[in-house]
């Protein structure tokens, strides 16, 4: 909703809160005065309140404002929606854009030239991946870059990807990085020595680690 329309909507709602109470307190007196004037042959009949509640304003999504039925101000809708009155009910419908355009973050945008769609959060066109013949998001996390050839986010420098995040725990030559556990694992299938040292020696299976040294069994 545009700022000016939102301001008007807010003023109308707060005005109704103050004006509605005044109308409630003065309504009976106004009706009594009008009735007395009518009995005296006066001409104050036109000053009688038309309504006291929204229920008395039938058709066209109208509301009672200070005793008069007026069109309702548009309700607050989503960023890609607009207010409409249908069958005397307020509804939010998709915003209408020019033919071929799409609404994104409240603005009508041109379609993506590569045939992909726009990311609803960033409005950036997705990237077409020739390798998989599909569209992927080119938006990557901190310290990452999008590899057009492999169609995926990768880490720069000496970092490796782990759970969608780049970590700097690069393994020694005797290890390989396990992306499932985000740890360095011994290539020989053994265990670290000592266990808590991510860069310690790799004992062969069955060997015993004692004071950072691997010893054969027995």
- Alpha carbon separation from 211 to 194, 207, 214 (Å, rounded): 7, 13, 8
Tell me the per-residue pLDDT of 109-158, one tens digit each, with 9 for 90 and over: 999 999 999 988 888 999 999 888 999 888 888 889 999 888 889 888 77
Residue 26 pLDDT > 60:
no
Report the pLDDT value the prediction gives residue 88, as an integer from 0 to 100.
83
Report the pLDDT value the prediction gives residue 138, as an integer from 0 to 100.
87
pLDDT band at 31 (very low <50, low <70, confident <90, very high): very low
User: What is the maximum span of the chain, computed from C-alpha positions, in angstroms?
Assistant: 122
Domain boundaries, the chain: 3-94, 102-161, 169-215
Quickly list DSSP for 143-204.
TEEEETTTTEEEE-TT-EEETTEEE--PPPTTEEEETTTTEEEETTS-EEESTT-TTSEEEP
Residue 41 pLDDT > 60:
no
User: How far apart are the C-alpha atoms of 25 and 32, rounded to whole Å?
Assistant: 13
Q: Omega of the bond prior to 194 within 30 degrees of 0, cis? A: yes
Question: What is the mean predicted confidence (pLDDT) over 54-72?
Answer: 89
C-alpha atoms less than 13 angstroms from C-alpha of 200 in its C-beta half-sphere: 18
Task: Find out whether 52 and 27 touch, Cβ atoms under 8 Å.
Answer: yes
pLDDT band at 10 (very low <50, low <70, confident <90, very high): low
User: How far apart are the C-alpha atoms of 185 and 177, rounded to whole Å?
Assistant: 6
If one compares 150 and 167, the residue with the highest pLDDT of the two is: 150
C-alpha closest to that of 191 among 183, 201, 199, 182:
201
> How far is the first Cα of the chain from the last one, in angstroms, to the nearest whole number?
79
Report the pLDDT value the prediction gives residue 169, as an integer from 0 to 100.
64
Task: Find out whether 66 and 21 touch, Cβ atoms under 8 Å.
Answer: no
Tell me the per-residue pLDDT of 181-205, one tens digit each, with 9 for 90 and over: 887 888 888 888 888 776 678 899 9
If one compares 209 and 157, the residue with the highest pLDDT of the two is: 209
pLDDT band at 38 (very low <50, low <70, confident <90, very high): very low
In this structure, what is the dihedral angle of CA atoms 16, 22, 28, 34, given to the nearest 10 degrees? -90
**pTM for this model (two decimals):** 0.40
Write the DSSP symbol of residue 133: T
What is the token pair recorded at 197? 């040292």
As a whole number, the mean pLDDT across the chain is: 78
């Amino acid at each position: 909703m545009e700022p000016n329309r939102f301001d008007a909507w807010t003023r109308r709602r707060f005005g109704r809160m103050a004006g509605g109470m005044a109308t409630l307190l003065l309504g009976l007196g106004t009706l009594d005065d009008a009735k007395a004037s009518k009995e005296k042959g006066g001409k104050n009949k036109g000053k009688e309140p038309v309504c006291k509640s929204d229920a008395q304003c039938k058709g066209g999504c109208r509301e009672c404002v200070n005793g008069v039925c007026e069109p309702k101000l548009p309700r607050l809708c989503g960023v890609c929606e607009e207010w409409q009155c249908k069958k005397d009910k307020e509804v939010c419908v998709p915003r209408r854009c020019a033919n071929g355009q799409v609404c994104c973050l409240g603005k009508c945008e041109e379609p993506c030239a590569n045939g992909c769609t726009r990311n609803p959060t960033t409005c950036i066109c997705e990237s077409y991946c020739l390798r998989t013949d599909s569209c992927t998001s080119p938006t990557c996390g901190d310290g990452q870059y999008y590899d057009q050839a492999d169609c995926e986010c990768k880490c720069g420098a000496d970092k490796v990807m782990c759970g969608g995040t780049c970590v700097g725990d690069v393994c020694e030559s005797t290890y390989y990085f396990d992306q499932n556990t985000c740890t360095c694992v011994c290539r020989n299938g053994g265990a670290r020595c000592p266990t808590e040292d991510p860069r310690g020696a790799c004992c062969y299976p069955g060997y015993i680690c004692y004071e950072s040294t691997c010893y054969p069994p027995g």
